[in-house]
Amino acid sequence: MLLSIAFILLAGMFMGWLCAKLKLPGLLGMILTGILLGPHAWNLIDSSILGISSELRKIALIIILTRAGLTLNISDLKKVGRPAVMMCFVPASFEIVGMILLAPPLLGISVLEAAIMGTVVAAVSPAVIVPKMIKLIEEGYGTKKGIPQMILAGASVDDVFVIVLFTAFTSLAQGKTVNAIRFINIPVSIGLGILFGILAGTLLGVLFQKMHVRDTIKVLIILSISFILVSLEDSIATPITFSALIAIMFMGTAMKKRRAEMAKRLSAKFNKIWVCAEIVLFVLVGAAVDISYAVSAGITVILLIFGVLVFRISGVLVCVLKTNLSAKERLFCMLGYLPKATVQAAIGGVPLAMGLRCGNIVLAVAVLAILITAPLGAFLIELSYKRLLVK
C-alpha cells in the first residue's frame, strides 16, 4: 500500500506539473496518472487502496466543500437569488432531455436507457468546479454579481438532484416501482442539509470562541464532524434523508458568518490539505476509468457528448436570463458549468453491475464524459475568467 501511495503522489504531482507547464489543467495529468497506474493499465495501485477509493474520494470532496463554505458569503448568495436555485436542477434537466432525444437514434437504445445514461452524464463535478470558483472568489473576479458563488452553490446541489433521478430510472429498468417520496426527498434533503450545516457551524463557532485551541485542532474537529455527518446520511434508512455534503459546505459558511477572521485562517489550512487531497482524488478518478470502453465507443459517442453539452449550455442560459449579467458574464457561466468527473466515476459502472442491457454503453459514455469535459471545462475556466469577468 505504501508503495502505491508513493506512486500516486509522485506521479500525480509530476504529471500535474507537466500539464501546467504545457498550459493544460493540472487535473488532466492527475487523471491520466490514474488511468496508467490503475487496474485497467499498469495495475500499480494496491487493491486495498482501490477497495476504499470511493471513501478516499469522498474525503477529498469533504475537504474542498468545507473550504468552499469557509469562503462563501451567505449575503452574496442571497443577492444571486433565483438563478442560483435554477442552476441546481435546470442545466441537468436540459442535458437529460438532450440525451433522451439524441441517444436512441444515435446508439439504438430505448428511451428509458437513454434517461439512465442522461442521469449518469448530467451531474457536474464539484471537485473540478469548486476549487476554481474559490480561486475566483479569492481573486475577486465576478464576486460583485455573485457569479462564482452561484456556480459553486449550483454545483454542490446539482449532484443530489441527478443521483435521485438515476436511482428512480434504474429502478424502473429493473421492473421496480418508483416511489414519489424519492422526488419529494430532493428539496427536503437539500433544505435539511442547509439547516443541519448552519446549526453545526453555529455551534462550532460558539465552541471555538469559548475554547481556545490551535487552528490545526479546529481543522481536525471540523473534519471529524463532517465524517459523522456523511456516515449519518449513509446509515439513514428512512425515505426522507438529508444531504451531508451540502450540510458540510453550509457548516463552513455559518462559521464564516460568526467568526470571519477565524474562517480565513481555517480556509488557508484546508487549502494546504487540498494540495494532497486533489492529487489523491483525481488519480483515483482516473483509476476508475477503463480506457478500453472509451476506445471501443467510437466517434458517435463523442458526438453525443458534445450534443448533450449544447443542451446543458442552453439550460445555463435559461438560468441567467433576465439577470443583470452581461453577455460575457453569461458566457462564462455556460463554460464554468461544463466539467464532469466524480459522479460519473462513482455511478458510471452501476448499470453494468446491475446487469442492465445498456450497462456497457453507459460506462463508455461516462468514461468519455470525464476524459472530454473535466480537462476541457477546467481549461476554459482558466482561459476565460480574466477576460469575461470584472475584477
pLDDT in tens, 193-223: 999 999 999 999 999 988 889 999 999 999 9
Q: Mean pLDDT throughout 14-34?
A: 90
The residue whose grid cell reads 429493473 is: 174
Residue 95 confidence class, pLDDT cut points 50, 70, 90: very high
Neighbours of 70 (CB within 10 A): 27
Give the relative orientation of helices 53-71 and 126-139 as an angle to the nearest 10 degrees: 20
pLDDT at 206: 93
Residue 22's pLDDT band, with cuts at 50, 70 and 90, is confident
Contact 158, 88 (CB under 8 A): yes
- Burial profile 309-334: b = 16 or more Cβ within 10 angstroms, e = fewer: bebbbbbbbebbeebebeeebbbbbb
User: For the segment 65-93, what is each residue's pLDDT rounded down to a tens digit?
Assistant: 999 899 887 776 677 778 888 998 999 99
Q: Is the pLDDT of residue 297 over 80?
A: no
Q: Angle at the Cα of 370 (from 184 to 291), degrees rounded to 5? A: 125
**Per-residue confidence (pLDDT) for residue 289, from 0 to 100:** 80
pLDDT for the residue numbered 100: 96
The whole-model pTM stands at: 0.87
